[in-house]
Every structure is written in structure tokens, then in C-alpha cells.
């Protein structure tokens, strides 16, 4: 399963000092992933993915966020620098499930 969407980068409030930055996957897509991933979920309900923003591709995990009702994708500092992005910016994101 491969999905592409536009999303705003945001900082996780609980770790604001560490500047953990994420994008939220659309709710409908998150529901589809939850259904497909089934027993393939890992710690904290995470699902392994290959993510792409701009010319940067990396392997990571998405995590369910009950407050947002969606999976969230961490966007590490190196990717944000390479793509000249910061919290509040919008980006085109592609996520491919690795184990499904």
C-alpha cells in the first residue's frame, strides 16, 4: 500500500524542547492502514514504512495517535534540513507500508 498526501509539519507538545516533528496521515488512510496492518503492528502499535518527502526517502515507523485519530509520521531533523522544512510548513508526503 502506497499513499501520497499533503500535510503540515507539527511539533509534539510533550517533547517540544526536543523538537520532535511529525506529519499526520489522513484519517481515512489511517483506518485503511489499521485494517491492513492487523497483526503486523509492532511496539506502541507502530507500523514500518518507507517515507518520501521531496528527494529524501527513509525507513521509519508510523505511530497511532489517539488524540488525532490518525497515524503520525516522525520527520527527522536531517530530512527537514535536506528539504528546507520546519514546523508549520506543508509538504507532499509518500508513505509505503513495508511489511504489508
Q: Write down all domains in the chain, each with its CATH number in brackets.
A: 2-97 (2.40.30.100)
Q: What is the pLDDT of residue 35?
A: 85
CA of residue 62 relative to chain centroid, distance: 5
Q: How far apart are CA 49 and CA 90, in angstroms?
A: 20
Q: What is the pLDDT of residue 37?
A: 76
- Residues of the chain with pLDDT below 50 are none
Residue in the block written with cell 520532535: 20
Q: How far apart are CA 97 and CA 84, in angstroms?
A: 25
Give the β-pairing of 56-65 and 70-74: antiparallel
Amino acid at each position: 500500500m502506497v499513499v501520497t498526501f499533503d500535510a503540515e509539519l507539527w511539533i509534539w507538545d510533550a517533547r517540544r524542547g526536543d523538537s520532535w516533528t511529525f506529519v499526520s496521515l489522513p484519517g481515512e488512510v489511517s483506518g485503511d492502514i489499521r485494517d491492513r496492518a492487523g497483526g503486523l503492528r509492532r511496539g506502541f502499535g507502530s507500523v514500518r514504512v518507507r517515507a518520501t518527502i521531496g528527494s529524501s526517502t527513509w525507513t521509519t515507523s508510523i505511530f497511532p495517535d489517539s488524540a488525532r485519530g490518525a497515524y503520525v509520521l516522525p520527520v527527522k531533523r536531517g530530512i527537514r534540513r535536506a528539504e528546507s522544512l520546519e514546523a508549520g510548513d506543508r509538504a507532499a508526503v509518500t508513505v509505503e507500508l513495508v511489511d504489508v
